[in-house]
Structure 1
Amino acid sequence: MNSKMQAYIKKQRSPQKEIIEKLRDIILKTYPDIKEEFKMGVPWYEGKYYLVGLKDHVNIGFSIEGLSEEEKGLFEGTGKTMKHIKVFSLEEINEEDIVKLLKVVKKE
């Protein structure tokens, strides 16, 4: 993890900090060789996913390029290329569901 990533995670409040750490772990466990970058002030993963800590939750963003309308419906937001899901607590993270969404985007 690079220093920008460490600083970003460290400055988050609880529970956003722990949520970001958990979601990051899920992404890296699902795709151990994925390229982790720090772009636009937040963690990005090969332009397919991002994590952002907000006031009362964390968004995990997903690229929707190439997805069917049904697949796009799995996500929130009005973006044309990226949509997200909101996570308000560690308890609501279902790793199996997150992995399924990660794989929908990577077409596995």
Structure 2
Amino acid sequence: MNSEVQEYIKKQRSPQKEIIEKLRNIILKTYPDIKEEFKMGVPWYEGKYYLVGLKDHVNMGFSIKGLSEEEKGLFDGTGKLMKHIKIFSPEEINKDRIVELLKVVRKE
């Protein structure tokens, strides 16, 4: 467990805190060996995913490198290397969909 990531989560307001905790748990359960680090002020996972608490929601970012146009369409944003999904409440987290998106990005 990365202490900087834990500190970041602790400082978040609700519901961002709960959303980030839930998403982080999904990432770590899906990929138990994934490297968690604290880069650019937010939690990162092997340069493939990031979590960031914003004013009224959380963005979960995904690397789109090597994805098809159809796969890129699963995400929001205009980034050339990363796109994201927005989550406004813990209740709207669909674990199966998140795992599916994680696997689209990290093909194994």
Scaled by the length of structure 2, the TM-score of the pair is 0.98
Alignment match, 2:7: 7
Alignment match, 2:28: 28
Unmatched 5+ stretches in structure 1: none
Alignment match, 1:52: 52
CA distance in 1, matches of 2:36, 2:2: 9
CA distance in 2, matches of 1:26, 1:2: 16
CA distance in 2, matches of 1:53, 1:106: 23
Alignment match, 1:75: 75
CA distance in 1, matches of 2:2, 2:26: 18
1:34-83 Cα deviation digits (max 9, x unpaired):
00000000000000000000000000000000000000000000000000
Unmatched 5+ stretches in structure 2: none
Matches of residues 35-46 of structure 1 in structure 2 within 5 Å? 35-46=35-46
TM-aligned CA deviation for residue 107 of structure 1: 1.5
The percent identity for this pair of structures is 86
TM-aligned CA deviation for residue 5 of structure 1: 1.1
Q: Tell me if 1:104 matches 2:90.
A: no
After superposing on structure 2, the runs of 4+ consecutive aligned residues of structure 1 that deviate more than 2 Å are none
CA distance in 2, matches of 1:6, 1:26: 15
CA distance in 2, matches of 1:69, 1:2: 34
Alpha-carbon RMSD across the aligned residues, in angstroms, is 0.6
TM-aligned CA deviation for residue 3 of structure 1: 2.1
Q: Which letter maps to 1:85?
A: I
CA distance in 2, matches of 1:69, 1:5: 32
Alignment match, 1:92: 92
Which secondary structure does the structure 2 equivalent of 1:100 belong to?
helix
